[in-house]
Each structure stands twice: as structure tokens, then as C-alpha cells.
Amino acid sequence: MHLLILGCGDIGTRVGSSMAALGWTVSAARRNASSLPEQFDRYQVDLTDPVSMAALSMRHPDYVLVTPTPQSYDPKGYHRGFTEAAELLAAQSWLLACRRVIWVSSTRVYREAEGGWVDEHSPLNVSEPQARAMVAAEAAIRRARTTTVIRPAGVYGDPQGMLIRRVLSGQGGAPGSSFGNRIHREDLARLITHCLQLDEQGEAVPPTLLAADEDTTPTYEVERWLAQKLGVNLSETPQQAISRANRQCRSALLKEIGFTLTYPSWREGYAASINA
């Protein structure tokens, strides 16, 4: 089997390495191809540039994994990084021959922002421009080819990650901060690998998967726990407004497809990061 990974960063590299170990051929593309593992067939590609994408026209992959990122954090950057990338990929003739696309989106696409529950079928946010760009990208790639959209909650696991850096700086939220699920980067990569293997074996793969752990602890409690483990005193800053990430994620579908989290909550995951 041949896997093509577009926008291949940390998650894509982890997936590609796992599939290569299983005997798959792995091609990977990103703007800076020199940072990709030498075991991959490497391509320097801008996912929003038709000329650049032409370099992939002879690859004919069985599976395509896309891990898009915004080109900047304003609406224009999300439109280019998600919507335009999806529309350009959808226009590639070689995509018609692949068995499945796995498109990594985000739980940011959900409308819920007041602490309620969401799952794969919850209403989407088409009022915020950045979320709307991600929703449009999902729709564009679904129209082009059989697709599984994976919507991860907050991805963590880097010992130098944002929340650990914030706590080490002495900053922390106060009671009243938002709910939030997370998923360890190792579990997200393993979930993608699991879906690829299921499809190869002829098993059903859902069109949408919410990728989150089993814990919805408010962020300020996570920060307090980290501060205790790291020996840091926090200067708590009251939350000024409801966060757009204030939702609780149901991920029961993961178990239905036979997937088990290595890190069922942030406690196990952050403990591993601290030890690292």
C-alpha cells in the first residue's frame, strides 16, 4: 500500500513511520521537505499552489492523509490553509484512484461554546470565519473522494507544549475557565494508523470521528495540577469571556471501531510529558 501525507508535520511523521514499519510505501509533502525523514519519498509542496501540487501527479497513492494548518491565524489564513488547500486537492485527477482520504480537522468546527456536549453529529459553527473555513474544507474534500474527517480536541504531548510553558511562566486560569477535552499526539497518530489499517482490511471506517480523551476537566484544574507537579506557584488570571473551546466531547465512537487510548486522560499524558 502507498500512503501520501500532505502537510506532513509531527502527526504525519508519526503516522508515516508507523505505516512504513508495516511495509507501506510512504510519500510525504510539505513546504520544507528537508525536515522529513529520509525513509519517506519527500516532496516540497505548497498545498495552495497548483504548480507546486503538480509534483505529485505521478504518485497515485492508495491513501491520502492531510494534516492542514492555517497560513496565519486570521480568517484569510484559515481560508487559504484549509478551504483553498481542500479545493485544490479535490481538483487533482489522481485523487479519484485513492481508496480513502483522511482529513484532520478540529473540534473548533463545533458551534457549542457554553460547556455543553458535542459528538460527531453536533451542529457546526458557520458564523466564525475561521471555523467556517474549516467546515468548508471538510465539505470540499468529502465531495471529491471517500473521506474520513477526524476532529481532534486539543492536541498535546510535547514537553515544550503551550500549556506547560504557560504554567512554567507562573500564569494560570481561575475557577470558571472553560471545559476542554484533549488528545495526546501519540493517540491521535495511532488513531489515524488504526483507520488506515481498518480500511485496508475492508472494515468500515466512519465518515467522521471526534478524537478526544475521556476527561473534560476545566482548564484551570489542569493548570493547578501541572503547577503542583512542576513546583510552580500560579498567578491566577480570571477568565474574561467564554472560550470558543468551551465544550465537552463524547468520543464513544472510538471504542466502537476498536480503538483504545494509551492516555485516557490528561493526567497520564502530562505525566509522561513531564517525565520526558
The per-residue pLDDT for 222 is 92
For residue 259, give every residue at least 6 positions away whose Cβ sits within 8 Å of its Cβ, in sequence order, or none: 190, 191, 194
For residue 65, give its domain range. 2-156+183-214+250-262
Cβ-contact 119, 250 below 8 angstroms: yes
20-67, pLDDT tens digit by residue? 999 999 999 999 999 999 999 999 999 999 999 998 988 899 999 999
Cα torsion 207, 212, 215, 217: sign: negative
CATH number of residue 103's parent domain: 3.40.50.720
**Domain count within the chain:** 1
Going by C-alpha positions, the residue among 188, 205, 206, 208 that lies closest to residue 263 is: 188
Q: What is the 3-state secondary structure (H, E, C) of 78-127?
A: HHHHHHHHHHHHHCCHHHHHCCEEEEECCHHHECCCCCCEECCCCCECCC
Pair 93, 58: CB distance under 8 Å: no
275, part of any domain: no
Q: What is the pLDDT of residues 158-191, one digit of tens each?
A: 988 889 998 999 887 767 668 878 999 999 999 9
pLDDT of residue 153: 95
Q: What is the pLDDT of residue 242?
A: 45
- Does the residue 8 lie in any domain? yes
Could you tell me if residue 130 is inside a domain?
Answer: yes
Does residue 172 belong to any structural domain of this protein? Answer: no
Q: Is the pLDDT of residue 240 over 60?
A: no
Average of per-residue pLDDT across 194-217: 96
Quick one: pLDDT at residue 180? Answer: 78
* pTM for this predicted structure: 0.94
Q: State the pLDDT confidence band at 241, using cuts at 50, 70 and 90.
A: very low
> 119-161 pLDDT, tens per residue?
999 999 999 999 999 999 999 999 999 999 999 999 999 988 8
Look at residue 60 and give its three-state secondary structure. coil
